[in-house]
């Protein structure tokens, strides 16, 4: 039995030290996932609490097939998306897909995009529409497949791919000023966990 499993067993019995240990060791990663998906720190703080309660409720279903962090990560993503739906942040993903068409050349939003210089990918991601942001984060950062995203968000895999394409294109523009720092970058492709 692994350390994770032993700790989980004690946590299931209501041992505070074990519960707290699981929280302490995994909160920096789990809460980062929640914050990424929410974008807003206050909202993320509320959702993170729900996430952790859900993780602890679900402990008896942890079988030790994967690391505890990986298992909890999945719960964090699902719970965050559910919570965001409730606050209507991603209620109309498919609508976003339709509305996320290329902006007209004289569109004020496009002008604003040109003048905005994100200092990090985190900042740039906040400039994406809720739908594009969610698809990008789930696919490129969290490692979900388009099929899984489609199921999770109630859209088609094609819609997910389309959103991802547009999200990446926009991010490349928003982060264009960082290009100099990446001159000579070797071929490295982002791969899921």
Given the complex with other proteins, which of 21 and 156 has the nearer CB atom?
Answer: 21
CB of 152 to other proteins, least distance (A): 18
42-48: Cβ within 8 A, 24+ apart:
43/87, 46/83, 47/79, 47/80, 47/83, 47/84
Percent helix, strand and coil across the chain, each to the nearest 5: 70, 0, 30
Region of residue 2 (phi > 0: left; psi between -120 and 50: alpha; otherwise: beta): beta
Given the complex with other proteins, which of 122 and 147 has the nearer CB atom?
Answer: 122
CB of 95 to other proteins, least distance (A): 25
Given the complex with other proteins, which of 25 and 100 has the nearer CB atom?
Answer: 25
Widest CA span of the chain, in angstroms?
A: 62
Given the complex with other proteins, which of 18 and 155 has the nearer CB atom?
Answer: 18
**Would you tell me which residues interact with other proteins (CB under 8 A)?**
12-17, 19-21, 23-25, 27-29, 31-32, 34-36, 41-42, 44-46, 48-49, 52-53, 56-57, 60, 105, 110-111, 114, 119-122, 140-141, 168, 171-173, 175-179, 181-182, 184-190, 193
Query: Residue 44's Cα: distance from chain center in Å?
Result: 12
């Amino acid at each position: 039995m692994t350390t994770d499993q032993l700790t989980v067993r004690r946590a299931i019995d209501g041992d505070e030290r074990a519960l707290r240990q699981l929280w302490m060791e995994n909160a920096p990663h789990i809460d980062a996932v929640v914050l990424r998906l929410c974008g807003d720190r206050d909202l993320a703080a509320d959702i993170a609490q729900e996430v952790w309660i859900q993780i602890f409720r679900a402990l008896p279903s942890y079988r030790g097939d994967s690391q505890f962090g990986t298992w909890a990560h999945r719960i964090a993503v699902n719970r965050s998306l559910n919570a965001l739906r409730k606050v209507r942040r991603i209620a109309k993903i498919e609508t976003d897909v339709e509305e996320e068409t290329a902006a007209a050349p004289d569109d004020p939003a496009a002008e604003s995009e040109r003048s905005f210089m994100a200092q990090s990918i985190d900042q740039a991601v906040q400039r994406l529409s809720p739908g594009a942001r969610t698809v990008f984060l789930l696919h490129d950062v969290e490692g979900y497949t388009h099929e899984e995203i489609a199921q999770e968000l109630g859209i088609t895999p094609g819609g997910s791919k389309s959103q991802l394409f547009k999200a990446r294109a926009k991010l490349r523009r928003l982060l264009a000023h960082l290009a100099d720092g990446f001159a000579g970058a070797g071929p490295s492709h982002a791969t899921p966990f």
